[in-house]
Amino acid sequence: MKPIALIAVIGAASVMLTAGCSSQQGTSSAPSATSSTTTAPAKLVVLAAVAQKKAFTEIGNQFTTDNPGQDIEFSFDTSDAHAAQLTQGGYADVFASADANNMGKVVKAGLLAGDPTNFASNMLTIAVAPGNPKKIASFADLAQPGLTVAVCGPEAPCGGPVQKIEQATGVQLSAASQAANVEDVLAKVESGAADAGLVYVTDVLSAGDKVTGVAFPESKDASTTDSIAVLKQSKNSEMAAKFVDLVTGDVGQKILDANGFSKP
């Protein structure tokens, strides 16, 4: 082979080798289309009171609509049960209490990321069978002989106001049963196991035509204040704060008002 032709062949081979190396290097450094993953947001866990169930379920639906892909999980129980759960190491992102006392327990334990916000208040009313067959018209009527009355136990948020009203009026009730929460009291009235029960205004409203509500003026002096806060342990504090903002904002307040809650 002539010298000039040999140089041309070597040069061409060198160019091909360099191009091949460049191609391999480019391939190895380029990001893989399948290597990137998107981490789904952690499920938001909200501990809320039984009396808040209907309103918070509606607010939760709005929350997931506003934040596509974000799941929310509610646990509805008495606020004292939730406070005990949290102070004993239980996990949640948000705590909504039906009374100041149980929110205070969580504050004292140093579990909140910030100060709690009062977002609503609730009052007791008398739940009776549809049409009020026993003709109950006042709190004092609940002390009538032969009347079966159901109330919340003293440890539950709905039990404290009953004791306060008894002290203020001097009327002592001989409750046939003490329930763990307002849902249980309402169930006793609906089933006929109790002639009357002391529950929140919100509970009578959510029960529809299953019961009749009888308002009494003394309940205004024994209302409870609902408050909400983000917990320090939250793994999704940004979304937790968004949920609190929704509850305390205009949209949440309209939903709460429609479900019988009053302003705090």
Distance of CA 37 to CAs 28, 208, 235, 237, Å?
A: 19, 48, 19, 22
Asked whether this chain's domains 44-121+225-258 and 124-222 adopt the same fold, the reply is yes
Lowest mean pLDDT among 32-36, 129-133, 227-231: 32-36
Contacts (Cβ under 8 Å, ≥6 apart) of 147 = 134, 136, 141, 195, 196
Whole-number pLDDT of residue 189: 97
- Tell which wins on pLDDT, 132 or 157: 132
Its pTM stands at: 0.81
Superfamily, domain 124-222? Periplasmic binding protein-like II (3.40.190.10)
Residue 28 has what pLDDT?
Answer: 36
What is the rounded CA–CA span in Å between residue 241 and residue 73?
15
First to last CA, the chain: 99
CATH class of 44-121+225-258: alpha beta
List, for residues 87-122, the tens digit of each pLDDT value.
Answer: 999 999 999 999 999 999 999 999 999 999 999 999
The average pLDDT across 212-218 equals 97
Q: pLDDT tens-digit profile of 148-159?
A: 999 998 888 889
88 sits in the region (left: phi over 0; alpha: psi -120 to 50; else beta) called alpha
Report CA-CA distances (Å) from 16 to 11, 12, 22, 23, 139.
Answer: 9, 6, 10, 10, 97
Answer yes or no: is pLDDT of 6 > 70.
no
**pLDDT confidence tier of residue 12, bands split at 50, 70 and 90:** very low
Cβ-based burial of 260 (10 A; exposed 0-12, middle 13-18, buried ≥19): buried
Residue 127 above 60 pLDDT? yes
**Residue extents of the structural domains in the chain:** 44-121+225-258, 124-222
**pLDDT for position 185:** 95
